[in-house]
Structure 1
Amino acid sequence: MKLVWSPEMAAKAFVDTVKSCELYQGSSVTELISAMAAGWNATLIVETWCHGDMLTTSIGLAVASTHTCGRHVCIVPDEDSGIEYVASMAKYGMSPEVIVGDPETVVNELDVIDFLVVDAQKNEFARVLKAAKFGHRGAVLVCKNACSTVVSGFRLRSLFDDGGSRRIVRSVFLPVGNGLDIAHVAAVESGSGSGKVKNSKWIKRVDRESGEEFLIRK
C-alpha cells in the first residue's frame, strides 16, 4: 500500500485549520502543512517542539489528525516544555500525545511514521530525520524554517539518496513563511540497487504457428 492523496480530506483540514488559527497572522504555513497531513491520510503524525516555538503548526497537525483518525505525537526536550505545550494546546481544546526526551531517540522508538515535521533552526533536525522509521507506504517529511542561514543550501534529498534503504521519490522547496523543504520518502525495494532500476529477467516465448522465438524482458 502506498500513500494516496485525498483532495477532499486536505480541503476539509485546510478549512478547519483556518478557523482554528484565525487569530494568527501569516498562518499560511500551518494551513498548508495541515492540508498535506490530512490529504496523505497520515495515521502517525509526529512533530518536534520546545519552549518559545509557535503553536500554529501543532494546531494544524491536531486538526489533521482528527480528520485521519490518526495519532498526533509531539516530542519535547524537557518536562517544562511539555507542561507549557499541554497547557497551551488545551486552550484550543486539543490534547496531542506528548513524549519527553531526545527527539532523535524518540523517533527511532516510535512505530512507523507517516508524516514528520521538524524545525531546521534546531541543530538536531537532520539526525531526527535520519533516525525516523518509515513503512512501505512511505512518508512525508516537512522541514520548517528552511531559509535559515544555518541550513542555507540544505535539501532533504542529501540525507537519503546515498544508496541506503530509503530514497526521495520527489521533493520541493516552497518559499512559504520562512521556507519549507518537503519530501516524499519511499523504501527501496530489495534488490533494486539505488531504487531507480528494479531487477529484471528474460522470458522466452514461442509462437506456436510460426515457431518463432521471442525474448521478453520483465
Structure 2
Amino acid sequence: MKLVWSPETASKAYIDTVKTCKMLKESDHVELISAMAGGWKPRMIVEAWSSGSNITTSIGLGIAARHLGARYVCIVQNKRSKLEYEAATKDHGLPIPELMVGEAKDVMARLPEVEFMVVDGGRKDLNELFGLAKLSHRGAVLLCTNGKQRFMSGFGWDLVMGDRSRLVRSAVIPVGQGLYIAYVKKNRESEKSSFRNSSRWITRIDQKTGEEHVFRG
C-alpha cells in the first residue's frame, strides 16, 4: 500500500492555513506544506524545529493534523529551545503540539513509523534526523525547509537515506528559503535480508485504485 493523495483534505488544510497566515509575510511555503500534509493524509506528522526560526511551519502542520486527526510531534533540541518554542506558539495563540526534547538518535528511536516529516534546514543534525526516521510501510514524504544553504553544501536525499530506503521522486520548490521535497519508500531488498530470507515480500497492485499492497508470504 502507498500514500494516496486526497484533494479534499488538502483543500481544507490549505484554506484554513491561508486564513490563519494572511497577516504573515512569506507564508506561501507554509500553505503549501499544510496542503501537502492534508493531501497525503499521514497518521504521523513529525517536525524538527530549529531554535531562532519562526513557527509558521508549525501553524500549517498543526492545522493539517487537526483536519486529519493525526499525531503531530515537534522535536526541539534542548530545554531552552522548548521554552522558546512554547513562547512563540503562545504569542500566535496556537495550541502547543506534542513536544519531544533531545538528541536525534534518542528522539527518533521513540517515534513509530513516520509518514510526513519536516526538518528545518538550519538544524545541524538534519542528516541524522532524516536518516534515523522509521519509515512507514506506505512510504514517507520528507521536506527540508530553509534549505538553500544546506543544499548548496552538498546535501543529497540518497546520501541521507542510505540503502535502507529508495528515493521514488524529489522536487525543489523556490518558496521561502528553499523547500526540498522527497517521497521515499523502504528498500524491500534491505527488509528481506533483515529477515534472513525467512519470508518473501509479495506486491499486488489494485487495478481500480492503483494502490500498491505489500505483504509477506
TM over 0.5: yes
CA deviations on 1:84-104 (whole Å, 9 max, x unpaired) are 222322342322001111134
* Aligned residue in 2 for 1:44: 44
State the 1:48 CA deviation.
Answer: 1.1
CA deviations on 1:144-186 (whole Å, 9 max, x unpaired) are 12211664443323323x5x22111111111111111100011
Q: Using a 3 Å threshold, how does the CA distance of structure 1 residues 158 and 95 change in structure 2: closer, same or farther?
A: same
CA–CA distance in structure 2, aligned partners of residues 184 and 149 of structure 1: 19
For the 8 Å contact 1:76–1:103, the answer to whether it is kept is no
* Aligned residue in 2 for 1:106: 107
Q: Using a 3 Å threshold, how does the CA distance of structure 1 residues 149 and 187 change in structure 2: closer, same or farther?
A: closer
Where is the helix percentage greater, Structure 1 or Structure 2?
2
- Matching of residue 18 in structure 1 with residue 15 in structure 2: no
Structure 1: segments with no counterpart, 5+ residues: 201-218
Give SS of 2:136's match. coil
Q: State percent identity of aligned pairs.
A: 43
CA–CA distance in structure 1, aligned partners of residues 154 and 114 of structure 2: 26
Moved more, 90-99 or 12-21: 90-99
Give SS of 2:169's match. strand
Q: Using a 3 Å threshold, how does the CA distance of structure 1 residues 174 and 155 change in structure 2: closer, same or farther?
A: farther
CA–CA distance in structure 2, aligned partners of residues 2 and 16 of structure 1: 26
Give SS of 1:16's match. helix
For the 8 Å contact 1:120–1:151, the answer to whether it is kept is no
* Aligned residue in 2 for 1:32: 32
For the 8 Å contact 1:13–1:64, the answer to whether it is kept is yes
For the 8 Å contact 1:48–1:74, the answer to whether it is kept is yes
Aligned residues: 194
- Larger Cα-atom Rg: 1
Alignment of 1:165-184 (within 5 A): 165-184=164-183
Alignment of 1:182-197 (within 5 A): 182-190=181-189
CA–CA distance in structure 2, aligned partners of residues 47 and 25 of structure 1: 21
Q: Using a 3 Å threshold, how does the CA distance of structure 1 residues 187 and 18 change in structure 2: closer, same or farther?
A: same
* Aligned residue in 1 for 2:208: none
For the 8 Å contact 2:28–2:176, the answer to whether it is kept is yes
For the 8 Å contact 1:48–1:75, the answer to whether it is kept is yes
Give SS of 1:148's match. helix
Structure 2: segments with no counterpart, 5+ residues: 193-199, 203-217
Deviating beyond 3 angstroms after TM superposition, the runs of 4 or more aligned structure 1 residues are: 149-153, 190-193
More relative contact order, 1 or 2 (CA 8 Å, 6+ apart): 2
CA–CA distance in structure 2, aligned partners of residues 134 and 96 of structure 1: 21
TM-score (normalised: structure 1): 0.81
State the 1:117 CA deviation.
Answer: 0.7
State the 1:39 CA deviation.
Answer: 0.6
